[in-house]
Structure 1
Amino acid sequence: MPRALWLLIIGMAVNVTGNSFLWPLNTIYIHDLLGKSLSVAGIVLMLNSGASVIGNLIGGHFFDKLGGYKSILFGIGITLLALIGLTIWHGWPEYIVFLTIVGFGTGIIFPSMYAMAGSVWKEGGRKAFNAIYVSQNLGVAVGSALGGLVADYSFQLIFLANTILYFIFLLIAVFGYKNISAAPVKKESSIEGDLTATNNHKKIHALLILCVGYLLCWVAYVQWSTTVASYTQEIHISLTQYSLLWTINGALIVAGQPLLTGLLKHFAKSLKAQMIIGIIIFIISFLVAAKASEFSGFLVGMIILTIGEMFIWPAVPTVAFDLAPKGREGFYQGIVNSTATGGRMIGPLLGGLLVDLYGMSMLFTVLIGLFVLAILTTVFYDRTIKSSKASIIKGAKSM
């Protein structure tokens, strides 16, 4: 891997480690320390996620107009100022304001990180995005574990620790990202030029169709941290056991990359096949969880779920980068990141309503239906592009 990609991987790990000090504990802090209801906590987290969606779209646009270096520094600057404010003033209602700004600032950063990763190692294809994905999960695992230890000592230090890590991320970006630039683009042939001119307006449609399925997958995936989490408590699975599921999730993602590489070579040579296989694995995971009544059942379900996400999550930004016309890479990554954030916003609300009104069995039935729809969107998202390409090549040969 290029040195520039290693710098992006390190920066992403530090960035997500800082974020992970706080996000798993947000609800506990708002409910237990600030004395607000769980409904209020949910609204605050929705504001954070909504601001992140806006940040994703703006960050992608900034990458295309200003470049990755300036875009990332802008996002870090906003986030760091908000975290300093949160370290000093973390009462009510200041907490809402600063947490929303943090969501906006971090949202700006992610599309640029992904777009830069694809630019500095184009020949690596999916490997560049997979490396960023692994670094994110490493950050989640480390940050969540350290955050719990720090919170046990003093919850106030959580905000300071998050701020310090973001300052380290700022230093990495200032001194490491300034000279990172995209690899040179080869000159297009006349046929490729015609194809680009014809297909650019279709590429965004293809991405949006793909992102519909991506959204549905995220809506279902977040049930493991919301409705499924509550269900495990109802059937007397301890919090320690439930937390262990996510520890295993992170460990498998980091340690399972060699196995994944071998599987992809033999069973998923195209990105489309990789995504479809991943969604099918997701379905199996939820079928297992639907029948589980003990910890061992949920453990098996989580292992299967982790394998599925290793197929899907890195593949979608890779497809977006491949689809993006020159100069629009950041915008396309912004759409992908905002779609994932939107799924994390919608999922808890939809899952909660389904469980409250119809029970867990109906929830699992609906989620499997969403996965089936996601398979359909994945199968057909690029159909118009392929038909257009075939028409142009056929016309060129007939001349």
Structure 2
Amino acid sequence: MAKKELKLSWLLCGSFIVSVGSSLLWPLTTIYMHNYLGQSLTTAGIVLFINSLALIAGSYLGGRMYDKDRKNARRWLLGAIFLSTSAVFLLIFFNDWPTFAVLLLLDNFGGGIAITIGNSLATGIKEKSSRQVFNMLYFMQNVGVVIGTLLVGVLVEISIEWIFISNFILFAFYWFVVYRYYYVPKAALVKEQVAKKGQDKTPLSYVWVIGAILILFFAIETGYSQWQSNLSIYMESLGISVKSYGFLWTINGFVIVCGQPILNKLLDDILKIKLIYKLYLGSALFVLGFFTLLFATDYPHFILTMVIVTLGEILTFPTIPAVVDNLSTLSEKGKYQGAVSVFAALGRAIGPLAGGLIVDNSSYNMLFTVMIALMGITTLFVIVVAQFNLVKK
């Protein structure tokens, strides 16, 4: 009897389910704490920062779990999902202050573990190349985001509790999918004895490249997080409504869903460019997008900038874990996929706070200039490090 193992179709299904569920909750977190629970925006910001730290801790722990005990990765994943599902279930009945903040913390900690183990399992799937696997994962996640954010408005009009109920149902279904279908891929167990003996280490030259890419990812997420925080205030100061700001994220979702297959066909199948060059192009688009913000004073300019930044997102976000997968060895897949999640979460945690400090002490133009410099310098850093350390990749 053939040993059961995770198939790409079920990995994509699980990614879609959890993306829809998460997208029901994160758009309302700040609004719920401020408008429903009566907490200040500062308090909400602190809660979000602490939750980012919980996500980082979970991501690191998930990577370590996978590397140390990959045979039982499915069990660890089930445990992490159970923690998140339990937290969301309790939110249905206990959603006052400060219980809401505590349960949200547990949800994010479990989510951090689950995301990293899920990405680590993806590295063992050989039905497609790692480039294709992570592109497809990213695509399904964003389809889930589009559907989830569209459902939020409908559910809130019924009752805020329906957000928590729906989230619980989806997470419980995700737990079932993992229990039924998420068996560790055979490729993830190859050379296990070598990995256990510590003889399967990532070459130092590749570690340098991975480190540079992680720094770039931190810079990109630091800049991108401005769109989810300080840019809303900036647009409002220019007389652009909150509704119009929210519509930018609808545009973001549809550009990803429609644009990613086209870009992948062009760059991967027709031009066949290397992953690392795809990363360079994506980060350059982020720099260009923030450069256009220096001149954006009306809504059409913000739409144009969002489209440019979204194209950069399409090229960089799925490419980074794929490049890291290609450069890391079997015994350290979890370690480096965990690092990808950690550096991304660090950028999202520090970005809004750093952006707020820059705006309070200077101006929005200074914020955009700093982000351009940060992403531009780290892009050049990756190019230089990769040039010296990558030979055949």
Asked if TM exceeds 0.5, the reply is yes
2:26 to 4, 18, 23: 23
- In the alignment, the residues of structure 2 paired with residue 258 and residue 93 of structure 1 have an alpha-carbon distance, to the nearest angstrom, of 43
Counterparts in 2 of 1:156 and 1:186: CA distance versus 1, 3 Å:
closer
1:32 to 6, 31, 35: 35
Instruction: State the shift of 1:3 in Å.
Output: 7.8
Which residue in 2 is equivalent to 1:242? 245
Which residue in 1 is equivalent to 2:327? 323
- In the alignment, the residues of structure 1 paired with residue 6 and residue 115 of structure 2 have an alpha-carbon distance, to the nearest angstrom, of 19
1:176 to 174, 178, 181: 181
SS of residue in 2 equivalent to 1:204:
helix
8 A Cα contact 2:200 2:331, kept in partner: no
8 A Cα contact 2:124 2:186, kept in partner: yes
Q: Does 1:159 align with 2:169?
A: no
Which residue in 2 is equivalent to 1:310? 314
Q: Does 1:365 align with 2:366?
A: no
- In the alignment, the residues of structure 1 paired with residue 190 and residue 86 of structure 2 have an alpha-carbon distance, to the nearest angstrom, of 37
8 A Cα contact 1:281 1:305, kept in partner: yes
Instruction: State the shift of 1:123 in Å.
Output: 4.7
Instruction: State the shift of 1:179 in Å.
Output: 5.7
8 A Cα contact 1:217 1:374, kept in partner: no
8 A Cα contact 1:53 1:341, kept in partner: yes
Q: Which has the higher helix share?
A: 1
- In the alignment, the residues of structure 1 paired with residue 348 and residue 278 of structure 2 have an alpha-carbon distance, to the nearest angstrom, of 22
- In the alignment, the residues of structure 2 paired with residue 139 and residue 274 of structure 1 have an alpha-carbon distance, to the nearest angstrom, of 24
> Superposition pairs for residues 208-219 of structure 1, below 5 Å?
208-219=211-222
What one-letter code is carried by the residue in structure 1 that aligns with 2:379? Answer: I
Counterparts in 2 of 1:122 and 1:384: CA distance versus 1, 3 Å:
farther
Cα deviations across residues 100-127 of structure 1 (Å, max 9, x unaligned)? 1111000001112112222112751311
Which residue in 1 is equivalent to 2:96? 91
- In the alignment, the residues of structure 1 paired with residue 94 and residue 189 of structure 2 have an alpha-carbon distance, to the nearest angstrom, of 47
TM-score for both structures, normalised by structure 1: 0.90
8 A Cα contact 1:114 1:132, kept in partner: no
Which residue in 1 is equivalent to 2:234? 231
8 A Cα contact 1:199 1:385, kept in partner: no
Which residue in 2 is equivalent to 1:286? 290
> Superposition pairs for residues 172-211 of structure 1, below 5 Å?
172-178=177-183, 180-182=185-187, 200-211=203-214
Which residue in 2 is equivalent to 1:393? none
- In the alignment, the residues of structure 1 paired with residue 339 and residue 6 of structure 2 have an alpha-carbon distance, to the nearest angstrom, of 27
* Larger displacement relative to structure 2 (64-73 or 233-242): 64-73
Cα deviations across residues 81-117 of structure 1 (Å, max 9, x unaligned)? 1112222211111112111111100000111211222
Counterparts in 2 of 1:186 and 1:44: CA distance versus 1, 3 Å:
closer
- In the alignment, the residues of structure 1 paired with residue 127 and residue 383 of structure 2 have an alpha-carbon distance, to the nearest angstrom, of 24
Which residue in 2 is equivalent to 1:395? none
1:276 to 280, 285, 288: 280
Which residue in 1 is equivalent to 2:84? 79
Instruction: State the shift of 1:199 in Å.
Output: 5.2
Which residue in 2 is equivalent to 1:190? none
1:150 to 149, 155, 162: 155
Cα deviations across residues 48-99 of structure 1 (Å, max 9, x unaligned)? 1110000001011112223331232121011111112222211111112111
What one-letter code is carried by the residue in structure 2 that aligns with 1:275? Answer: L
Which residue in 2 is equivalent to 1:254? 257
Counterparts in 2 of 1:231 and 1:198: CA distance versus 1, 3 Å:
closer
Instruction: State the shift of 1:229 in Å.
Output: 1.4
What one-letter code is carried by the residue in structure 2 that aligns with 1:336? Answer: V
* Larger displacement relative to structure 2 (150-159 or 119-128): 119-128
Cα deviations across residues 12-37 of structure 1 (Å, max 9, x unaligned)? 11111111111110111111111110
SS of residue in 2 equivalent to 1:225:
coil
SS of residue in 2 equivalent to 1:36:
coil
- In the alignment, the residues of structure 1 paired with residue 75 and residue 279 of structure 2 have an alpha-carbon distance, to the nearest angstrom, of 32
2:45 to 42, 56, 60: 42
Instruction: State the shift of 1:381 in Å.
Output: 3.5
Counterparts in 2 of 1:75 and 1:202: CA distance versus 1, 3 Å:
farther
Counterparts in 2 of 1:168 and 1:299: CA distance versus 1, 3 Å:
same
- In the alignment, the residues of structure 2 paired with residue 65 and residue 184 of structure 1 have an alpha-carbon distance, to the nearest angstrom, of 12
8 A Cα contact 2:210 2:324, kept in partner: yes
- In the alignment, the residues of structure 2 paired with residue 381 and residue 129 of structure 1 have an alpha-carbon distance, to the nearest angstrom, of 24
8 A Cα contact 2:202 2:329, kept in partner: no
* Larger displacement relative to structure 2 (69-78 or 120-129): 120-129
Which residue in 1 is equivalent to 2:195? none
What one-letter code is carried by the residue in structure 2 that aligns with 1:31? Answer: H
1:110 to 109, 112, 115: 115
TM-score for both structures, normalised by structure 2: 0.91
8 A Cα contact 1:9 1:132, kept in partner: yes
8 A Cα contact 1:275 1:378, kept in partner: no
- In the alignment, the residues of structure 2 paired with residue 44 and residue 181 of structure 1 have an alpha-carbon distance, to the nearest angstrom, of 40
SS of residue in 1 equivalent to 2:302:
helix
8 A Cα contact 2:201 2:329, kept in partner: no
SS of residue in 2 equivalent to 1:223:
coil
- In the alignment, the residues of structure 1 paired with residue 322 and residue 298 of structure 2 have an alpha-carbon distance, to the nearest angstrom, of 37
Over aligned residues, Cα RMSD in angstroms? 2.3
Q: Does 1:356 align with 2:337?
A: no
What one-letter code is carried by the residue in structure 2 that aligns with 1:253? Answer: I
